[in-house]
Structure 1
Amino acid sequence: MTDPLASCLYIDSDDVLHDSCAIWAQAEFLAIDTEFIRTDTFYPIAGLLQVGAAGHLYLIDPLNISDWSAFTDLLRRQDIPKVIHSCSEDLEVFQVLFQCVPQPLLDTQIGAALAGLGFGLSYQKLIMECLGIHVEKGETRSDWLRRPLSESQCTYAALDVLYLQKVYPLLKQRLEEKGALDWWLEDCAVITAQAENPALPQDYYLRIKSLWKLNQRQQYVLQQLCAWREIEAKERNIPRGRVIKDPVCFDIARLLPGDLNQLSRVKELSPGSIRRYGDVILALISSARSVADDDLPAPAPKPLTPAQTQLMKQMKALGEVAVVAADIAPEVLLKKRDLEELIRTGVLPPSLCGWRKPIIGDALLSLGGKK
């Protein structure tokens, strides 16, 4: 049998990339993956891009490409699906390199969950489940910026898009047979929309756990602190934790220090961070103290009451029935945060509309929605 990796094309020039894009434009779909480094930077640094098309394999060296126009045109081609596994970090790579994301996108991790194969399957587990093939992941932590890349690195990278080309038709057929192909397209369209419109710096604080434990002004300080940190990390292109970690931001907002001495008592805030950022942090807190109560953001919701928790259990019970009927992974149908939003507002969240509405959304509304 012919070794499919033997004909893998390594692309390290604009001309070859342009010619390859002309070939890929004729493909029914493209399997895509990326390898990147993100150890010391805010933004991922692309080390390699992999493309699988019509059974052939290609490795693109982004360190040697200056003209991406033909490739980005292809990424935007609506008539050619782009197949990726667990795409969130890959989409960040595309945004940094091209200021766009592949569309239409089909994430095989999501497709597998909708097909009833399991939620959050790793690439290894997906390939074993669908093809019965064990994929070695020995180069996961490899240095993808090193040149030349080793044979082992190239093989590892190429196999990703080789097997994606085999898995995609299987998932597509399974979802078509159960009338769920549109579900896949819909969920992936939401992901690409989110990637194109990332959260604003002032919204980062909403990710921090136990936000409800802070009073409204403390929450505002945390909002401003996280927004400043986000901008600082992006401008310096360093991980946000290298500026200040989330728990430290939380403690600063909780304690509201008024001078450098008080700031130094915040656990895990290093003397170096105080020297570099102390005056900025204190100025931010001082400014936040003067904001009128009416101008503060709405407080974060508190944990559910016992009655609301009981309603949550009833909703989850409905979900368990719907999951069996739809033959999908439970986590892909219902998320805790969506149920909490419905319980608090009585309004169906956007993520429970679309294809989920007739399957579970309407039943949830009848149980806990606004009358």
Structure 2
Amino acid sequence: MTDPVESRRYIDTVAALVAACDTWASAQFLAIDTEFIRTDTFYPIAGLLQVGAGGELYLIDPLSITDWSAFTALLRRRDLPKVIHSCSEDLEVFQVLFQCIPQPLLDTQIGAGLAGMGAGLSYQRLVMECLGIHVEKGETRSDWLRRPLSESQCVYAALDVLYLQRIYPILCQRLEEKGALSWWREDCDLVTAQAEKPFNPDEYYLRIKSLWKLSSRQQYALQMLCAWRETEARARNIPRGRVLKDAACFEIARLAPIESSQLGRIKEVSPGTIRRYGELILALVADARAADDSVFPPPAVKPLTPGQTQLYKQMKAVAEDIADELGVAPEILAKKRDLEELIRTGTFPDTLTMWRKSLIEKKLLAILENRK
């Protein structure tokens, strides 16, 4: 029998890609992976795309392809599942390269969690769990923009989609047996829906740790700083931290410096940053200092009170019992942030998929009612 890795096909012309897409159009599913570089850029630079279909393996050179229309048509086909592991970074590559998100997408990390293998399972552990094969990590950090790619790089990349093709039916069977196949689809549909939403620079500040420690005016200053930094990083295609680190944004918003000497005393703000951006940063802080409070963002969410913490522990215990009955990790059934939002607002967040809600809603709402 021919070794599928040895017989892999390397695609570096539009004609070859179109021919491959014609073949993939009749496949039951596509296993997809990407290799990319993102060391010095804001956006990932695709170095290689891997596709597995019908037992065959394909390596696509994105540095040589100028027309992706045949491939993107397949990515959008709703009757052709695309199987990817831990898809978040891959989806960014798709957004940059194709301006689209694969539909429907099935993330094997999510599927493994629902199948009872654990939350956030790495690709290496998934392969070992399902196939009993140890995956070497030697090429993970190699230069995927170098040409020609080495034999070891090509083998490493091809194996990814070889194993994904073998893992997919195993996961489907396990999830089908526990009645959770529809859960997998629902969770992955939510992931793709969120990935398709355009990012709002004004919302980045919400990711900053300890945001709640700032006053409303300081939070507004932080919002302005982070929005400016986001726009600047994207425009220059450099990592956010090359413009200004999160910690520096937080401290600038907290201290509200008036002049460059004060700005220079803030840790993580380098002389180079002050030379390039100092006047602009000080102007943003001054605008926040003078702004009317009607423009302030809603107050940041504070940590739970002692009473709310006790309520959270009750809810978590209930969720753990249900998760144990289902054979899934508790954090897969009910994430901490979902329980906290329920406690604060009395309603489930929109990100809580229907299958979860149907399993935990009545019991958790009963706890809230008893508390009242």
TM range (shorter): over 0.9
SS at match of 1:47: strand
Deviation at 1:112, TM superposition (A): 0.1
The whole-number CA distance in structure 1 between the counterparts of 2:151 and 2:363 is 54
Verify the 8 A CA contact 2:186 2:353 in the aligned structure 1.
no
Whether the aligned pair in 1 keeps the contact of 2:187 and 2:353 (CA below 8 Å) is: no
Name the residue aligned to 1:201. Answer: 201
How far, CA to CA, are the matches of 1:227 and 1:326 in structure 2?
42
Letter in 2 for 1:345: T
Q: By how many angstroms is 1:317 displaced?
A: 0.4
CA distance in 2, matches of 1:307, 1:157: 51
- The alignment partner of 1:7 has SS state of coil
CA displacement at 1:297 relative to structure 2: 0.9
The aligned amino acid for 1:368 is L
**1:164-194 Cα shifts (integer Å, max 9, x gaps):** 0000000011111111111111111111111
1:166 maps to which residue? Answer: 166
For the residue of structure 1 that corresponds to 2:59, the secondary structure is strand
- Residue 217 of structure 2 aligns with which residue? 217
**Separation in 2, partners of 1:342, 1:195:** 24
Aligned residue for 1:23, secondary structure, equals: helix
Measured after TM superposition, the shift of residue 351 of structure 1 is: 2.6
- Give the alignment's Cα RMSD to 1 decimal: 1.1
Map of 1:128-147 to 2, 5 A cutoff? 128-147=128-147
Q: Which residue of 1 aligns with 2:333?
A: 333
Is 281-290 or 72-81 further displaced after alignment? 281-290
Residue 273 (structure 1) shift: 0.1
Distance in 1 (alpha carbons) for counterparts of 2:48 and 2:247: 34
Would the aligned equivalents of 2:32 and 2:161 in 1 still touch at CA under 8 Å? yes
Aligned positions, number = 371
Residue aligned with 2:141, SS = coil
Aligned equivalents of 2:227, 2:361: Cα separation in 1: 34
TM-score, structure 2 normalization: 0.98
Measure the CA separation in 1 of the matches of 2:328 and 2:190.
19
Whether the aligned pair in 2 keeps the contact of 1:33 and 1:161 (CA below 8 Å) is yes
Per the TM alignment, residue 293 of structure 1 is displaced from its structure 2 partner at its CA by 1.4
Which residues of 2 match residues 96-175 of structure 1 at below 5 A? 96-175=96-175
Match of 1:261 in 2: 261
Give how far 1:5 is off.
Answer: 1.0
The answer for the alignment partner of 1:65 in structure 2 is 65
Q: Which residue of 1 aligns with 2:80?
A: 80
Residue 96 of structure 1: SS of its match in structure 2? Answer: helix
Contact map agreement 1:353 1:361 (CA 8 A) in 2: no
User: If the length of structure 1 is used for normalisation, what is the TM-score?
Assistant: 0.98
Q: Give the whole-Å Cα distance in 2 for the aligned partners of 1:288 and 1:316.
A: 40
Show the counterpart of 1:228.
228
AA aligned opposite 1:75: L
Residue 179 of structure 2 is matched in structure 1 by 179
SS at match of 2:63: helix
1:63 match: secondary structure: coil
Please identify, of 355-364 and 92-101, the stretch whose mean Cα deviation from structure 2 is larger: 355-364
For 2:167 and 2:98, locate their aligned partners in 1 and report how far apart those are by CA, in whole Å.
27
CA contact (8 A) 1:352 1:361 kept: no
| Contact residue 343 and residue 368 of structure 1 kept, 8 A | yes
Q: 1:20-39, aligned counterparts within 5 Å?
A: 20-39=20-39
Does the 8 Å CA contact 2:259/2:282 hold for their aligned counterparts? yes
| TM-superposition CA deviations, 1:209-233 (whole Å, max 9, x none) | 1001100000000001000000000
In 2, the alpha carbon distance for the partners of 1:351 and 1:95 equals 22
**Could you tell me whether the CA contact under 8 Å between 1:81 and 1:103 is conserved in 2?**
yes
Q: Which moved more, 1:348-357 or 1:23-32?
A: 348-357
TM-superposed deviation, 1:335: 1.1
Gaps of 5+ in 2: none
Q: Which amino acid aligns with 2:17?
A: L
Identify the residue that residue 7 of structure 2 maps to in structure 1: 7
Residue 62 of structure 1 aligns to a residue in which SS?
coil
Query: Any conservation in 2 of the 1:348–1:365 contact (CA below 8 Å)?
Result: no
Q: Which amino acid aligns with 2:145?
A: L
Partner of 1:44: 44
- Give 3-state SS (helix, strand or coil) of 2:31's partner: strand
Could you list the per-position Cα deviations for residues 73-125 of structure 1 after superposition, in whole angstroms to 9, with x for gaps in the alignment?
00000000000000000000000000001110000000000000111111110
Give the whole-Å Cα distance in 1 for the aligned partners of 2:283 and 2:87: 39
Structure 1 residue 135: deviation in Å? 1.0
User: 1:320 corresponds to which residue?
Assistant: 320
- Separation in structure 2 between the aligned mates of residue 321 and residue 156 of structure 1, nearest angstrom: 41
Distance 2:34 2:182 in 1: 26
Superposed displacement of residue 199, structure 1: 3.1
For residue 116 of structure 1, what is the amino acid of its counterpart? G
Per-residue CA deviation, residues 270-324 of structure 1 (Å, 9 max, x unaligned), is 0000010011101111111222112211110211111000000000000111101
C-alpha contact 2:95 2:101 (8 A) present in aligned 1:
yes
Q: Is the 8 A contact 1:36 1:47 kept in 2?
A: yes
Work out the percentage of aligned pairs sharing the same amino acid. Answer: 71
CA distance in 2 between counterparts of 1:362 and 1:139 reads 48
8 Å CA contact retained: 1:115, 1:171: yes
Deviation at 1:234, TM superposition (A): 0.1
Q: Is the 8 A contact 1:114 1:180 kept in 2?
A: yes
Counterparts in 2 of 1:198 and 1:367: CA distance versus 1, 3 Å: farther
Pairwise CA distance, 1:361: 2.4
Letter in 2 for 1:72: T
Unaligned runs of 5+ in 1: none
Q: 1:340-351 to 2 correspondence within 5 Å? A: 340-351=340-351
